[in-house]
Structure 1
């Protein structure tokens, strides 16, 4: 891998500082210098008129839910087609400018390693493996008539494992150990009901503090952490008390709970894009109209939760949570967040802050010497027009670990 010098771009480095005109020199997959180089420049890439950002990070993806949801859950789609859909979604993430993603439930380690080996196009993937849920809780999508013990038959080893169910703390301990055996790098628990659920309500809490703490203990033993799917405050507080380090969604987060999260260093990853998609067309994801009814009002409440979290000083990342086949416009999450905050705040959430939440601080998410050379060159300036983030064709050039993986110039 030789040296590459990207010249002429306006660079927004992911830290929140004002963009500057600066050359970026890359060698052996890493950024080695900002500014003009006196050394032999190697390959020179003219990026005049383009805006450079770090490779984007989506902290809440579901590669394993890339097929129409209900047909997948009811065994109407072959393993080959599910695999094809997963890998198509992975390639689309890269094309949208996302060079790193955190999969929050649905894939086994085989997907991670297949992408990492370069056998299919895709971002760097950190995965929790199967979601951990309580019996009949959010994450369980079987038919009403289906015996609980048959749910694991939906798993496709090495490819897709949607969730593992536990009836008590001992079962949960065994299941999280199994998730780590399958390649998980962190854990995700569902501690409240969810939108895409058939057996609970958003106001339900799931798992006890003592049960959540078991998963936290097992994660800590491996030097990693637990994040939780949570919509209501009681579930969030249970998770924080148990030692979870991150909250997904946080729809009804109030000021006292946000303050508690900030005090304990617990991050929040709101997810607006999936709400927008399900309100617009739940059938497109392969879901029934009842899901749309469940999501009504979530966008407004999540907006209030975002404001409460900001006021309390919570670290706030960014995640799309897109499900089903329509995952090509992943950058819509940045456009939606830019409208609620500023375009720069949305970019920082999707780069430096997400890298911090994922445990990759300084390695990705910033344009600085020593960081991985994950870079996106945008047609125009998405900090002036954040809708540019929504259209993958505006990401005209994507560099991942120093390699050009997309080039529309």
Structure 2
């Protein structure tokens, strides 16, 4: 494939390469040239005239929930299992058509979906699965009913545990088993929940979850497989406990203070944050709505501190259990222009997130090419935009209209040119 006459944002540089040709062979980019690419005239070569439009790497989401985003809580608790996976596969295709060619899934049984997408059975983004979110009893990912008996006292796993959406584990031996279970099932990285959350019913935001010994056990088990632990946590004490235990990625962090964000930067820990606004999630009860509002108040300040201290910051959505809100993914991506320059935001959405994904080491099954860039040797994952996101980031909020061409792995999945 040759995509001709495009303005290339390579995912790294603030400057674009104008009037360029991009040559794709198989699934990879093999040349990006200011001179017309020639010498490839043969049967089967696809030439696309980009008409001077803006070509950028495919977008990525560092905190997606494919299964959680595609299904409601009632779907999980009462729906047929097959429908859960069917909804997930359908949402994967919609996500790809929004221009998201890679996602890091932070809780859900998505390794089987990843396998089907990678084989070409279904369309969807590349997936870095975490498999089940691992939680203590009464923690953020304990979706058992309040009257259910914990397994330690003879009870049975919750429905979401049975579905590998969550895994409740208490004590070092069970935490080790839970981590190893997710790795056995195909996890690229491990997700622990170390503090309260808006979506969960039993835990105030202030709670500390998992002891230092339990967290270190999880970190050790993940490290032994060449990968890392990412943790759901908002508060100062929770973030500091996570960093002390060797966690590599803080998911959220909205209630941190300045000294803690400075520590995140000094230790080289990733801050995988989301530009939350109250309208992104809806909760039926006042307690969870209040937690959501409190979390959102920290968004702007924490981003400001992250920029000040050079924190390695990734972007994600964490949209969950509200399928009707799934398309807000694009709006939340464009919202990054409120906190960073457009160039900084685009880098984060492409090459920046990809740098975080690489922490998975050999658990990264996409090592045969670079992600998040348009360069020789990169995966041919690209979006052609009708508009200039470097000048107006809001154009990425409307992918149906403005994304004219989407290519993943050298295959055209959308073309409205």
Question: What is the aligned counterpart of 1:10 among 7, 12, 31?
Answer: 7
| 1:346-386 Cα distance to aligned partner (Å, 9 max, x none) | 11111111000000797110111111111001121122222
What is the CA distance between 1:229 and its match in structure 2?
Answer: 0.6
Distance (whole Å) between structure 1 residues aligned to residue 276 and residue 312 of structure 2 = 19
The answer to whether structure 1 residue 154 and structure 2 residue 159 are counterparts is: yes
The answer to whether structure 1 residue 372 and structure 2 residue 371 are counterparts is: no
Alignment partner, residue 256 of structure 1: 259
Instruction: Indicate how the Cα distance of structure 1 residues 114 and 148 shifts in structure 2: closer, same or farther if over 3 A, else same.
Output: farther
Question: What is the aligned counterpart of 1:26 among 21, 24, 27?
Answer: 24
Distance (whole Å) between structure 2 residues aligned to residue 196 and residue 242 of structure 1 = 25
Distance (whole Å) between structure 2 residues aligned to residue 352 and residue 108 of structure 1 = 23
Structure 2 unmatched ranges of 5 or more:
359-363
Distance (whole Å) between structure 2 residues aligned to residue 7 and residue 383 of structure 1 = 20
| 1:33-76 Cα distance to aligned partner (Å, 9 max, x none) | 1113242253211011421110111000011213453313432x
Alignment partner, residue 361 of structure 2: none
- RMSD in angstroms over aligned alpha carbons? 1.9
What is the CA distance between 1:310 and its match in structure 2?
Answer: 1.5
**1:160-199 to 2 correspondences below 5 Å:** 160-199=163-202
Secondary structure of the residue aligned to 1:231 is strand
Runs of 4 or more off by more than 4 Å in structure 1?
287-290
What is the CA distance between 1:289 and its match in structure 2?
Answer: 5.4
Distance (whole Å) between structure 1 residues aligned to residue 390 and residue 276 of structure 2 = 19
Structure 1 window deviating more from structure 2 (326-335 vs 243-252): it is: 326-335
**1:319-358 to 2 correspondences below 5 Å:** 319-323=316-320, 324-325=322-323, 326-358=325-357
**Count of matched residue pairs:** 397
Asked if the contact 1:63/1:86 (under 8 Å) is kept, the reply is yes
Asked if the contact 2:63/2:105 (under 8 Å) is kept, the reply is yes
What is the CA distance between 1:244 and its match in structure 2?
Answer: 0.8
What is the CA distance between 1:223 and its match in structure 2?
Answer: 0.7
Secondary structure of the residue aligned to 2:280 is helix
Question: What is the aligned counterpart of 1:314 among 311, 315, 326?
Answer: 311
Instruction: Indicate how the Cα distance of structure 1 residues 151 and 396 shifts in structure 2: closer, same or farther if over 3 A, else same.
Output: farther
The answer to whether structure 1 residue 402 and structure 2 residue 399 are counterparts is: no
Question: What is the aligned counterpart of 1:277 among 255, 275, 280?
Answer: 280
Asked if the contact 1:73/1:142 (under 8 Å) is kept, the reply is no
The answer to whether structure 1 residue 219 and structure 2 residue 214 are counterparts is: no
Distance (whole Å) between structure 1 residues aligned to residue 410 and residue 278 of structure 2 = 34
| 1:162-187 Cα distance to aligned partner (Å, 9 max, x none) | 21111111110011111111111110
Structure 1 window deviating more from structure 2 (31-40 vs 369-378): it is: 31-40
Alignment partner, residue 39 of structure 1: 39
Asked if the contact 1:66/1:82 (under 8 Å) is kept, the reply is no
The answer to whether structure 1 residue 122 and structure 2 residue 124 are counterparts is: yes
Distance (whole Å) between structure 1 residues aligned to residue 223 and residue 114 of structure 2 = 22
**1:105-144 to 2 correspondences below 5 Å:** 105-144=107-146
Alignment partner, residue 381 of structure 1: 388
Instruction: Indicate how the Cα distance of structure 1 residues 151 and 204 shifts in structure 2: closer, same or farther if over 3 A, else same.
Output: farther
TM-score by length of 2: 0.90
What is the CA distance between 1:276 and its match in structure 2?
Answer: 3.6
Question: What is the aligned counterpart of 1:62 among 65, 86, 97?
Answer: 65
Asked if the contact 1:53/1:375 (under 8 Å) is kept, the reply is yes
